[in-house]
Amino acid sequence: MPHTQYVSLFLFVSCSTELRKAQKRVRVLKQQVETSEEKTTTAHHYLASIVALAEKTTQERDQLVYMASSLKQDKQGVITRVVEGTLRLGKLQEKVKVGRLKHAGFDL
């Protein structure tokens, strides 16, 4: 019988050792899962920040495109007014020239 007790004790110790190893492995795996979840959460926040920055950049780009278009239209309006003013000035100068010639006694 003593031999049977030793075998039983050996099996009990062996099972206890295996159980402790399995429990340790479970703790390690739980820690790895927790770490993985933390990294996933961090990555999610990081990606959300990137998306928010991309949306803000897109809005700024759209505003700059609109502003550039407005400035281009304003520039074209200024150029048109300058050309029209130059033409009016040329006509006025021509009238002044004709008036001076008439005043000087030249008939045109």
Distance CA 22, CA 79 (A): 84
Identify the residue whose tokens are 């007014």: 81
pLDDT at position 1 is 47
Distance separating alpha carbons of residues 18 and 24, to the nearest angstrom: 10
Closest CA to 52 of 44, 63, 64: 44
Q: What does the pLDDT read at residue 16?
A: 79
Q: How many Å apart are CA 5 and CA 59, to the nearest integer?
A: 80
Amino acid at 40: T
Residue 83's pLDDT is what?
A: 96
Sign of the Cα pseudo-torsion (20, 21, 24, 25, in order)? negative
Q: Return per-residue pLDDT of the chain as tens, 108 residues.
A: 455 655 565 556 667 788 888 999 999 999 999 999 999 999 999 999 999 999 999 999 999 999 999 999 999 999 999 999 999 999 999 999 988 888 887 665
In the chain, what are the domain boundaries?
Answer: 1-78
